[in-house]
């Protein structure tokens, strides 16, 4: 019985260390708050993009793809802004639409082909 206590303490210690590591990963992946300047830029560019400005649409798409607006990454939304910019004549956006569609399709194919993870 005296050997059980050290083993239990070690198991608890390892569990706590694992939990701390998981919390650090979640914290690192959490989106940052968008700065007022970034929020203002996003709003202005979104409005310009909706009015047909291809450069503004491209800037919003790049920011959504990279996470520049407070860590917010949204590839599907970025793709829609790239498409909008491409429809309005932005050449780089047209190339990016093709590339991003390919990346998203490959990602979806990989998700469908990989077996579902099992929780324990």
- Tell me the mean pLDDT in the region 70-93: 92
Helix (H) or strand (E) holding 56: helix 54-66
Tell me what the pLDDT averaged over the chain comes to. Answer: 77
> What integer pLDDT is reported at residue 63 of this predicted model?
92
Who has greater pLDDT, 11 or 64?
A: 64
Look at residue 118 and tell me if it is in a domain.
no
Q: What is the pLDDT of residues 10-50, one digit of tens each?
A: 544 454 344 344 334 434 444 567 788 888 888 999 999 99
Look at residue 47 and tell me if it is in a domain.
yes
106 — pLDDT class (breaks 50, 70, 90) = confident
Look at residue 31 and tell me if it is in a domain.
no
Look at residue 3 and tell me if it is in a domain.
no
Helix (H) or strand (E) holding 22: helix 4-29
Look at residue 27 and tell me if it is in a domain.
no
Look at residue 21 and tell me if it is in a domain.
no
Residues 6+ away with beta carbon under 8 Å from 49 = 56, 57, 60, 81, 84, 85
Look at residue 11 and tell me if it is in a domain.
no
Residue 61, domain extent: 36-110
């Amino acid at each position: 019985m005296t050997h059980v206590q050290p083993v239990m303490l070690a198991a608890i210690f390892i569990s706590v260390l694992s939990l701390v590591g998981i919390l650090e990963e979640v914290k690192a992946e959490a989106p940052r708050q968008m700065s007022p300047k970034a929020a203002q830029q996003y709003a202005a560019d979104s409005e310009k993009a909706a009015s047909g400005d291809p450069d503004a649409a491209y800037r919003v798409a790049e920011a959504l793809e990279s996470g520049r607006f407070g860590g917010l990454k949204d590839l599907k939304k970025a793709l829609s802004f790239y498409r909008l910019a491409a429809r309005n004549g932005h050449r780089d956006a047209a190339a990016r639409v093709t590339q991003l569609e390919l990346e998203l399709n490959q990602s979806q194919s990989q998700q469908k082909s990989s077996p579902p993870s099992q929780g324990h």
